[in-house]
Structure 1
Amino acid sequence: MTHVTADALYELLPAIYRIRDAEQGGPLRALVEVLAQQGRLLEADIERLYDNAFIETCDEWAVPYIGDLLGVRNLHALGEVVGFSQRARVANTIAYRRRKGTATMLEQLATDTTGWPARAVEFFELVATTQHTNHPRLHNHRAPDLRDADALELIDTAFDRVAHTADVRRIASGRGRHNLPNVGLFLWRLEAYPFEIPVEARPVTEPPDGRYWLHPYGLDAPLFNREQTEDEISHLAREVNVPGPLRRRPLFEELANRRAAWEGGDEPAPLFFGEPPVVEVHLDGAALLPEQVLVCDLSDWTAPAPTTHVHPEHGPAETRVSVDPVLGRLVVLGPPDPARVEVGYAHGFPGDVGGGPYDRAGSLAEALPPEPDGLPLVPDWSASVSRSGGPSSPAVDAHFTSLLDALTGVPGTPGWADQPAGSVGVITIDDNASYPEALTGTTAIVVPDGSRLVVVAAGRAEDGSPEPTERRAHLRTDVEVIGTAPFASATPGTLVLDGLLVEGEIRVRGAYEPAPGDPRVPASLGGLRVAHCTVGFQDPDAPVGLRVSPDVDLVADAVLAAEANRELVLDLDHALCGPLEVPETARGVRLRDSVVQHADTALAGPGAGPAPTNGPPATIERCTVFGEVRVREMALGSESVFIDRVTVDRLQSGCVRFSYVPPGSLTPRRFRCQPDLALRRRAEALGLRSAAELDPAERTRVLRRLRPSFTAVRYGEPAYAQLAASAAEEIRTGAEDGAEMGVWSLLKQPQRIANLHASLGDYLRFGLEAGLLFAS
């Protein structure tokens, strides 16, 4: 409770001053209020001094200072990584020293230092050796048990239990493993993102025939474990404690044991199917028990017949669905066929990019910037959307059961289309459901002159404000956007899409009908911000993306048609998107921390066939671009990976820095770009004056080594756009701050690894050597 208030300070003044101040309109009172405000800030800072003395409650800036008192030094700061702190690393330092050299301690050190789940493996325990009869190790057999299918499935993983012959190569190089001095630290770099009910399963056919994909696009994608927290530093991680892909066998055996316990009236021991379970299924809104779920191989969509199990008290329970966690498939067992199948599960991905269930509070703050006076921007109209049709918050103007209704309105409840020009509107989609309604043609999203519309996947706080966390709405169709600002308008409208999974293409049209029956006229959209969205991957092998169409064929005057969307600024932020086609007449394109993919052209202006025109001026920061880039001007290309040729018209302005630019590209001046830098250094090592003097064979060797390689380049695979561990070090550490180039620069993986290497030497036992092994 604060003791510095304006009333308390004002009462300390002599009464004569207060009387004179009241006669003059209260200028002294206003000054006292300013002093009281600053006094409250000082009082709060003094109160924080006590909290900042403890690692559990201190501010983030104080963590390195407390760590320095314990001798925790020489660690890279990772404050830019969302959700990660060195707080645990410092807090557990004394516990590390008490358990120095043990496997569980090394495992906890790896987790706290990198932020990645880890498992320590003492490989000398798995070396096949001749054992002394007085000290037999019963768990170590020279030959594996061929009847133990579970152990055979785990060979060469972090949970391998089979003995191996000795490998004399060094584990620090990443090549050797099984040797007496070796300790391996397996690290899971992929995160498990849990989706809560309702996530609608995608039927294989229409109408549904009982076969479903769990991925909303209808892709085969593995399910991931929702890792369980380890409570003690002395606990060694198991499969349930790491975010790895689920295997069929352990899930099958656990459910079989649960059904046996169900029939015996016993309480089953939860493992993967605790709270929450790794897979949860609702049929027509009714939750299935884990005992009603089968796990099997659905490669050919063939599922076993349903079985019935009788509980002594609760009666019979019939198996209703079969799930394949490896392929992400589901089959309903027998009639009656449900009208709606909803699932809860987790999928794997490297980080917070694209449509996903993670916190996006900073993105929403950017979508609704404060007023010029610093006060929060209050929307003129707000609505919530959910398939459940629940009651809206008192602070929300309306609630709808579909996004289309929120845009067009329904009888008795006005929508966005009914708001006057110049309004600020916010539509929050409160669930993870799929919305199949078409948003094209007459039902396209219309943004009038001076208006701002934000469509965000978010929950709701008690006061009705959107909380963009753990939501990812799915739009199953194309999305068309029309800005109706007239030519040369100073305040064209803005649309913000945040946290959405857009299955089809986003098209920005350049013409509209002022009234039914009128000829179409050119118009403009001022800004389109696509943040934390996935766009256009209905077919991962032939993605569609975002296209700005001039609608020349719909406007009588082609010259005026070319002026459409001239003020458009496209902002792609933390997004996954197919090809971008933006005319060179647009104001600009800005890409940040995103992936743009297409086999032919990833960023260009619209054109016919394989020869598109050039796009508008572009700024590309920390992006991975699969496909050719053609722009009129590149103001800045920074810390990005361009897989195919980059062509820029204006070479005298702008720059490209700390990026991979393929040979043959035409760009403005470059600074510390690859492979240029590697070629120059190789020439210097050979005593040559420039890279142009390199032998063709030598040049080819450098270019091949520097070519970026990825763990996966197809959308739908968990490690999409992740640089492979075999990628050149110049690419993996080539960003300005030493992070990797490309979209996953935001994860600061090289800094995490460097911090762990710097810490291991202080805690390894004498004679042992540790190696880092990436499990994902």
Structure 2
Amino acid sequence: MTTARDNYPEYFAEKLWEWLPAHYRDLDQSEGGGALRAFIESLADQAALLKRSQDRLWDDAFVELASDWAVPYIAQLVGTRLVSAQNPRARRADVAKTIYYRRRAGTLSVLEQLIADIAGWQGTVIEEMGRLARMRHGLDGTALQGRLTGTPEGGLADLRSSRSALLGGGPFDEFNYTPDMRRPNGETGRRGIAKLSFHLYRLGVVEFRGVQPRRMKRLAGAFQGFTFDPSGRDLALFSPGDATRTGGEGGTIREWSLPLPISCSLLGDARYRMDQRVRAWIMDESRQGAPIPSRDQRLAVANDLRRLEGELFADAASLRRLLTGLPSAPILTQESLFAGLLLHGLVEECGSAALLPDETGDTTMGAASLGLSFTSVERPPMIPRHRSCSANLDDWSDAPPAGVEWVVQPEKGRFLVNRGGNSFASLRVRYHQVVPASVGAGALGREPDDSAPSLLWNSGAFGDGTPADGAVLIQDSASYVNPPDQPALVRCQVRAAEGERPYLRLNNFWRLGAGTNNAELTLDGLWIGTRSVPRSVVLQGMGTDANFERATLRYCTLDPGGIDANGGTLPAVTLVIDCFVEELLIENSILAGIRLQGSDAAVSRLIVRDSIIHSRTPGSVAIDLATTHLCIQRSTLLAPSLSETAINVERIHAEDTLVAGLVHASDSQNGCFRFCARPAGSTVPHPYRSQLLGDGGGLFASRRFGDPHYLRLSDTAPVGISRGASNGSEMGAFCRENEPARLDSLQTKIREFTPFGRLPNLIREN
């Protein structure tokens, strides 16, 4: 809970202290050891609580401002049936919108609104009745047709459309189905007259700007192959979605309106109309582009384009073919003029217009999903959409079409680019990616640090290096190679700016040494990786009296390793302790492992919260600190296999933690292991309401770092783990997401506002 900055405790403590006779105050200081003062301060704390409650009496009358304890009292005034107290956000939204929901009960608008208000996710609701294949009759009227395939309602699908096949089963499906009489349960029993499908998109999408991509393929000619990911991994690019869209009131839902992985077909969906806007551009004498010498020629070209009024062209090739049959074809098919037709004739209702930027870097529908630019001044701010296309780059061999400067494969996050006369170091990309909740570098909801830095790192340069006593602020998301060592730390902080995720690549070990016996170090918001050879972040001391009083890693990712886009190995980056550390704090971070090095190395106390420690190398241990007291909460730890050791410590206090590996605590009489899971054969103290893991198969949706579902529990995970935490949520690093409570709350409200006789079906899309 955040501490109020009203100074009430200090004020009341001094006030009460002054009321005491001076004789007793002197005795307390000389003989009492401050016991009386401590008692007065405890009374002052309670007085501060009462004062704050009095100050908030007026606010507590309004649901938007009320404290959590006051929300149920307001709910009684409007007769709301409250959801679980584990979901306070849903409680507040439910009370605030009770009248709104009841006035519109039974409509798709309210049902879609419930997804955002109660669960905090994005989603859409589909009436399955409209997707049933059937014979139509005269009272049906004109059948609506699918936007992509032209498939009529209830009719046969055009199986030649590959994109329509990719959308099958989702909210944008254009196929029609026979009825399924089973009761709906996720993917089974979905089709029927009375069934409503709630498509839920649970994972959060984060935008990364100014990222320096990694070159993965050297090609002959001007084009070179890159990955969006600075480490060189394949990753799926996502559309940003529209979190502000209200249910059913924002118009027709399109693919780019939801946080979906972008497909090649969606990114390449470019449709054109030669309407009044294009003709006005042709007639504009001040326009940029290839000139048309005379006004008569401009009139002739505009008249030819008027013949195409109302026609919708599915792609640029279709438009070019038709233009070649017009009298003005020699002018219209010039590359520079044709590029202008593509620029001004693109319709808003297509994937290219919604996801790719124009010259300014934005789209007509808001911020673009992805973009590419150079930091040099020779190029425009962003490569525009009419100079971009999508393609399959599995072997990096697709030849770009004429006039194209940027080719993207969004399913794997690869691209080819013509860099022109610009350097590779000046290349920057922008994209959206799913991140594992509030864990790791670039996490959702990272708390900003507003303290003033003493040094700045920017554009891959380290400035004056790592300070011994001071704070470094990394101002962008560029790649930094070999951050400077600092052997004599006193109090040092290296943090990324809010909204940035810099990538620090180690060609050597990053050595951070204590220069005093109570040094402090904080790493915040950093992604640290390496190539080819394993490297480590090493905490060490200059001498026998040099140690760390506290070392903290917040929202950091020490790369757990994997495979890059060319099949090469990405080694893990471990945290190595080569000195004495009084307290090591790991919060909201992803690590590959923690181990000791040297005979004098030790960690007195290790605290791990809301983090992932994933050891992939056979024989390695995630936490190998034999003399350490470990306090771990809401975390996920993985060994290379369930039969290998994941934790080796002296004493352990664990809560809401999932350990996919053996746990060995040498002190089995002290500590606890409550609401946790571990394999059989582990040595843990006083297990309470804990689970034993089976063979571990199917426990996680993905074990590959970089996947959207990295270490998320799969839908087949045992209920004792998926709902086994102390708050009824899942065990592990995503416990605080409280997904089970949010899902239960949503189901409760759906049953309340769904029309009688309808069967709701919740489908978890991502």
TM-score range, shorter chain: 0.7 to 0.9
Task: Give the counterpart letter for 1:533 in structure 2.
Answer: C
Q: 1:193 to 1:479 in 2, by over 3 A?
A: farther
In the alignment, is residue 734 of structure 1 matched against residue 724 of structure 2?
yes
In the alignment, is residue 343 of structure 1 matched against residue 429 of structure 2?
yes
Show the counterpart of 2:505: 476
C-alpha distance after superposition, 1:74-108 (max 9, x if no partner): 3123568xxx6654443333232222222232111
Show the counterpart of 1:123: 128
Q: 1:246 aligns with which of 252, 258, 262?
A: 262
CA contact (8 A) 1:633 1:653 kept: no
Show the counterpart of 2:107: 102
RMSD of the alignment, in Å?
3.3
Q: 1:255 to 1:332 in 2, by over 3 A?
A: farther
CA contact (8 A) 2:127 2:196 kept: yes
CA contact (8 A) 2:440 2:588 kept: yes
Instruction: State how 1:485-496 maps to structure 2 within 5 Å.
Output: 485=515, 489=517, 492-496=518-522
Task: Give the counterpart letter for 2:388 in structure 1.
Answer: V
Show the counterpart of 1:770: 760
Q: Separation in 1 of the partners of 2:713 and 2:123?
A: 20
C-alpha distance after superposition, 1:201-226 (max 9, x if no partner): 11115899611100111011010111
In the alignment, is residue 272 of structure 1 matched against residue 355 of structure 2?
yes
Q: 1:303 aligns with which of 372, 387, 398?
A: 398
* Offset of residue 142 of structure 1: 4.2
Q: 1:290 aligns with which of 378, 385, 388?
A: 385
Q: Separation in 1 of the partners of 2:420 and 2:454?
A: 42
Show the counterpart of 1:618: 630
CA contact (8 A) 2:436 2:443 kept: no
Q: Separation in 2 of the partners of 1:577 and 1:86?
A: 35
TM-score normalized with structure 2 length? 0.73
* Structure 1 stretch displaced more, 84-93 or 471-480: 84-93
TM-score normalized with structure 1 length? 0.72
Q: 1:54 to 1:669 in 2, by over 3 A?
A: closer
3-state DSSP class of the match of 1:300?
A: coil
Task: Give the counterpart letter for 1:320 in structure 2.
Answer: E
Give the gaps of 5 or more residues in structure 1.
Answer: 1-37, 309-318, 366-377, 388-400, 408-415, 418-422, 459-468, 513-519, 551-564, 607-612, 677-702
Show the counterpart of 1:281: 372
Q: Separation in 2 of the partners of 1:495 and 1:172?
A: 50
C-alpha distance after superposition, 1:101-154 (max 9, x if no partner): 222321111221100101111112212233334326453234311233332220
Q: Separation in 1 of the partners of 2:267 and 2:394?
A: 17
Q: 2:655 aligns with which of 638, 642, 649?
A: 638
Show the counterpart of 1:722: 712
Instruction: State how 1:129-278 maps to structure 2 within 5 Å.
Output: 129-135=134-140, 137-138=143-144, 139-172=152-185, 175-196=188-209, 198-204=210-216, 210-228=224-242, 229-231=244-246, 233-235=248-250, 237-254=253-270, 262-263=340-341, 265-266=344-345, 268-269=347-348, 270-273=353-356, 274=363, 275-278=366-369
C-alpha distance after superposition, 1:178-233 (max 9, x if no partner): 1222111111111110012x111111158996111001110110101111232564
Q: 2:457 aligns with which of 385, 404, 411?
A: 385
Show the counterpart of 1:507: 537
Q: Separation in 1 of the partners of 2:561 and 2:674?
A: 33
Q: Percent identity?
A: 26
* Offset of residue 261 of structure 1: 8.4
CA contact (8 A) 1:530 1:573 kept: yes
Q: Separation in 1 of the partners of 2:82 and 2:74?
A: 14
Q: Separation in 1 of the partners of 2:478 and 2:207?
A: 14
* Offset of residue 586 of structure 1: 2.1
Q: 1:402 to 1:78 in 2, by over 3 A?
A: farther
C-alpha distance after superposition, 1:286-329 (max 9, x if no partner): 42222222222212212333434xxxxxxxxxx31111111101
* Offset of residue 731 of structure 1: 0.8
Task: Give the counterpart letter for 2:668 in structure 1.
Answer: L
Task: Give the counterpart letter for 2:525 in structure 1.
Answer: G
* Offset of residue 603 of structure 1: 4.1
Show the counterpart of 2:305: none
Q: 1:453 to 1:164 in 2, by over 3 A?
A: same
Instruction: State how 1:579-658 maps to structure 2 within 5 Å.
Output: 579-582=593-596, 585-599=602-616, 600=618, 603=621, 614=626, 616-627=628-639, 628-658=645-675
CA contact (8 A) 1:306 1:334 kept: no
3-state DSSP class of the match of 1:715?
A: coil
Task: Give the counterpart letter for 2:341 in structure 1.
Answer: E
3-state DSSP class of the match of 2:548?
A: coil
Q: Separation in 2 of the partners of 1:604 and 1:191?
A: 27
* Offset of residue 497 of structure 1: 0.4
Q: 1:511 to 1:255 in 2, by over 3 A?
A: farther
Show the counterpart of 2:446: 360
3-state DSSP class of the match of 2:495?
A: strand
CA contact (8 A) 2:204 2:444 kept: no
3-state DSSP class of the match of 1:750?
A: helix
Task: Give the counterpart letter for 2:551 in structure 1.
Answer: L
Q: Separation in 1 of the partners of 2:396 and 2:195?
A: 44
Show the counterpart of 1:455: 494
Q: Separation in 2 of the partners of 1:452 and 1:432?
A: 24
3-state DSSP class of the match of 1:629?
A: strand
Task: Give the counterpart letter for 2:174 in structure 1.
Answer: R
Show the counterpart of 1:753: 743
Q: Separation in 2 of the partners of 1:42 and 1:655?
A: 36
Task: Give the counterpart letter for 2:475 in structure 1.
Answer: D
Q: 2:688 aligns with which of 651, 671, 682?
A: 671
3-state DSSP class of the match of 2:170?
A: coil
In the alignment, is residue 534 of structure 1 matched against residue 557 of structure 2?
yes
In the alignment, is residue 662 of structure 1 matched against residue 679 of structure 2?
yes
Q: Separation in 1 of the partners of 2:527 and 2:393?
A: 26
* Structure 1 stretch displaced more, 632-641 or 660-669: 632-641
3-state DSSP class of the match of 1:287?
A: coil
C-alpha distance after superposition, 1:621-669 (max 9, x if no partner): 1111111224232331111111111112111111101011111111111
Q: Separation in 1 of the partners of 2:95 and 2:58?
A: 18
Q: Separation in 1 of the partners of 2:237 and 2:413?
A: 6
Task: Give the counterpart letter for 1:346 in structure 2.
Answer: H
CA contact (8 A) 2:272 2:346 kept: no
Q: Separation in 2 of the partners of 1:763 and 1:299?
A: 47
* Offset of residue 330 of structure 1: 1.2
C-alpha distance after superposition, 1:156-195 (max 9, x if no partner): 1122121112222211465321122211111111111001
* Offset of residue 597 of structure 1: 0.8
Q: 1:604 to 1:192 in 2, by over 3 A?
A: closer
Q: 1:330 to 1:542 in 2, by over 3 A?
A: closer
Q: Separation in 2 of the partners of 1:647 and 1:591?
A: 17
Q: 1:256 to 1:245 in 2, by over 3 A?
A: farther
Show the counterpart of 2:148: none
| Number of residue pairs aligned between Structure 1 and Structure 2 | 610
Show the counterpart of 1:9: none
Q: Separation in 1 of the partners of 2:400 and 2:700?
A: 41
Q: Separation in 1 of the partners of 2:368 and 2:679?
A: 46
Q: Separation in 2 of the partners of 1:637 and 1:730?
A: 17
* Offset of residue 601 of structure 1: 5.4
3-state DSSP class of the match of 2:454?
A: strand
Q: 1:334 to 1:272 in 2, by over 3 A?
A: closer
Give the gaps of 5 or more residues in structure 2.
Answer: 1-45, 145-151, 274-314, 317-337, 357-362, 564-568, 640-644
* Offset of residue 580 of structure 1: 1.8
Show the counterpart of 2:74: 66
Q: 1:46 to 1:589 in 2, by over 3 A?
A: closer
Q: 1:427 aligns with which of 469, 472, 487?
A: 472
CA contact (8 A) 1:261 1:268 kept: no
Q: Separation in 2 of the partners of 1:211 and 1:256?
A: 29
Q: Separation in 1 of the partners of 2:763 and 2:423?
A: 45
